[in-house]
Structure 1
Amino acid sequence: MLTAIHPKLPMRNKAATKDFYLNKLGFQQFGDADYDDYLMVQKDNIQIHFFFFKDLDLSTNDGQVYIRTDDIVGFYESLIEKQVPIHPNGKLAIKPWGQKEFSILDPDSNLLTFGQSI
């Protein structure tokens, strides 16, 4: 039986990725080990893992994660307050498929879309 999923996304700079997720998005580092080329972060019931990819081309990175939340407006407002840029095509909106969503890009152009059923 499947019980969880932990997406793995590319990162070019571990310190920048860690700073963004911990200080801007409110994640915490997961685990006690500190690997040079790997990072694990957690917030509430989700984890995201990152692997070092020195030659990542930001213009062609297709890394994407869809994250469900039960307080989309509160989370959106917290990111606005912290001046986290919202994707120009991903402002908070109700979508035809019955979700309220918004999107951001992390420092490595991984697209994070947050959604809540309406």
Structure 2
Amino acid sequence: MLNQIHPKLPMRNKAVTREYYTSQLGFHEFGSADYDEYLMMEKDNIQVHFFLFQELDPKENYGQVYIRTDNIDEFYQSLVAKKTSIHPNGPLETKPWGQKEFSVLDPDNNLLTFGQSM
């Protein structure tokens, strides 16, 4: 019965979050309503939602999302071409559990890991 999930992550600044997800990751804003304290971003078949948390200390943020893709090499290369910072501990590599993965940190230190089954 379950068919989608839309994670909610904290953001300190809506404009900064929107800019990062748009310019670095290729998302676009979802929906026509503009709420001061909420943002919905979409790419292909996924959405990531954000709630305003101005007091967030990025060093204490443990927000994480695992996003599956069917063409990780192409997506990774598109981010490298945009000079998107790849997490130093999350380079593109095949893991022992059969996933090819890489990770990025958004401006609020939310960890986004992208993976594809090998």
Query: Could you tell me the TM-score, scaled by structure 1's length?
Result: 0.99
Partner of 2:67: 67
CA distance in structure 1 between the aligned counterparts of 2:59 and 2:23, rounded to whole angstroms: 25
- Quote the RMSD (CA, aligned, Å): 0.5
Residue identity in the other structure for 1:36: D
Deviations 1:39-67 (A, max 9, x none): 00100000000000011011110000000
- 3-state DSSP class of the match of 2:60? coil
Partner of 2:93: 93
Confirm or deny that 1:11 pairs with 2:11: yes
CA distance in structure 2 between the aligned counterparts of 1:68 and 1:2, rounded to whole angstroms: 17
Unaligned runs of 5+ in 2: none
- 3-state DSSP class of the match of 1:66? strand
Shift of 1:3: 1.5
CA distance in structure 2 between the aligned counterparts of 1:3 and 1:30, rounded to whole angstroms: 19
Residue identity in the other structure for 1:30: F
Unaligned runs of 5+ in 1: none
After the TM superposition, which residues 21-100 of structure 1 pair with which residues of structure 2 at under 5 Å, given as runs?
A: 21-100=21-100
For this pair of structures, how many residues does the alignment match? 118
Q: Flag as ranges the 4+ runs of structure 1 deviating above 3 A.
A: none
Identical amino acids, percent of aligned pairs = 68
